[in-house]
Amino acid sequence: MATSAEAVRIPRRRLSIGDTIGLGIVGLIILWLIWNFSSGPQQFVQVAVIGVSNGALYALVALGYTLVYGIIELINFAHGDLFMLGGVFSATLLSNWLGYQHSSPGAWATAMLLVLPATMAFCCILNVVIERLAYRRLRNAGKLAPLITAVGVSFILQNIGLVWNGSAPQSRPTILGNGSLNIGSISIGYPYIWTILVTVVLLLIMRYIVVKTRQGKAMRATAQDPDAARLMGIDVNRTIAFVFGLGGAMAGAAAIMYVQANGETRYDAGFEFGLIAFTAAVLGGIGNLAGAVLGGLLIGVIQAANDGLPHGLGQEWSQSVVFTVLIGLMVFRPSGLLGAQVVDKV
C-alpha cells in the first residue's frame, strides 16, 4: 500500500525557457535597484515616493480603461483626453472662477471639498454623455467601428481642449503648496503626499462599490454575460453608463491632482498620459482592477527610477524603458501580470 506521502506527491513543474528569461530580467532589475540604493539611499527614497505618486495617477486613469474593457471589451482611446479636459476644468474653476492663486488652508479645503468632487462630476457626466451618443448604438457592431469611433471622440475632445486651454502650455498655481514634509534628510513634496492620500481613499471607495454594492454585482454580472444579466432583471444600459461614469470620475480625480503636482495644463497632455495609463492597464492585465493599480504603480516607479536615480538612462529614454518593459512582459505573459488566460472560442 502506498504511504500518504507517496499518495499526495505532486510532480514538480519544470521552468520553461521563457520563465527562466523572465526571472533573469527580474533579477537584473532587482540588482539595478540595489546598486542605485547603495549609491544614494536618500535620493532613492525620494525618487520612489515620486514614482508611487505618479503611478497612483496612472492607476486612476487606467481604471477607466480596464472598467470599460471589462464590461464591453472597448478600448476607449478618448479616456486620456477626458483626463486632459478634467485638468483644464479644475484649473479654471479653482484659479479663474474661484480666484485662488496661492496656497492656504482655505485653498486646500476648497480644492479637496469643492473642486475635486466638481471635477469628478464633470468628467463623470461627460463620459456618460459620450457613451450615450457615440458608443451605445455601436455596441452590437463589429469591434472596428467602436474603436474608430473612440479615436474620433479623442480628436474631438482634444480640439475642445485646444480651444479652451490654447495651443501653448498654461502655467497654473499649485494650491496644494510647493512645500515639503521633511523626514530626516528626506524631503517629500506636499502635492505628492496629497496625491497618494486621495488615490488610496478613492481606490478603497471604488473597491467597496464594485465588491459590496448591488450596482457592483450588476457590473460583474454584465461583464460575465450581458444576456444572462438581462434575464436576471439587470438594466444593462444603465450598468454600462454607470461604468463609464465611474471611470470618468476616477479620471477627473487624477486630473486635478496632476495639475496640482505639475503646475500646468496642456491640450495634448491626454495623449501621452492616456497612452501610459493604457499601458499600465495592459501591463497589469486589461479588465482586472487590481492589475490596473499594480500596473500603474509599477510604471510610475520604473519611470521615476530611470529618470531620477544615479544609474538610470535619463529622461530622454523614459518612454523607451517603459515600453521595453511592457513588450518584454507581453512576450512571456500576454495576459498581463494579473490577467486571466483566456482561450478564444471558435
User: What does the pLDDT look like over 183-219, one tens digit per residue?
Assistant: 777 777 888 888 889 989 998 999 899 889 999 999 9
* 117 vs 314: which has the higher pLDDT: 117
Q: Residue 26: pLDDT band by 50, 70, 90 thresholds?
A: low
Average pLDDT over residues 48-69: 92
Q: Residue 12: pLDDT band by 50, 70, 90 thresholds?
A: low
Q: Residue 344: pLDDT band by 50, 70, 90 thresholds?
A: very low
Average pLDDT over residues 258-275: 92
- Quote the pLDDT of residue 88: 97
Number of H-type helices and E-type strands within the chain: 14, 4
The three-point CA angle 171-92-205 to 5° equals 105
- Quote the pLDDT of residue 287: 83
Average pLDDT over residues 216-228: 91
Question: Which cell goes with 59?
Answer: 492607476
Question: How, if at all, do strands 186-189 and 264-265 pair?
Answer: unpaired
Domains and CATH numbers, the chain: 43-332 (1.10.3470)
Examine the pLDDT at 50 and tell me if it is beyond 70.
yes
Share of the chain above pLDDT 70, in %: 90
Amino acid at 93: L
| pTM as predicted | 0.87
| Distance from the first to the final alpha carbon of the chain | 46
- Quote the pLDDT of residue 5: 45
Q: Residue 178: pLDDT band by 50, 70, 90 thresholds?
A: confident
DSSP codes, 166-184: -SS-EE---TT-S-EEEET
d(CA 305, CA 33): 8
- Quote the pLDDT of residue 7: 47
Which residues, in sequence order, are CB contacts of 322 under 8 Å at separation 6+?
276, 279, 299, 302, 303
Q: Residue 346: pLDDT band by 50, 70, 90 thresholds?
A: very low
Per residue in 74-84, pLDDT (tens digit) is: 889 999 999 99
Helix, strand, coil distribution of the chain in percent, nearest 5: 75, 5, 25
Count the Cβ atoms, other than its own, within 10 Å of residue 318. 17
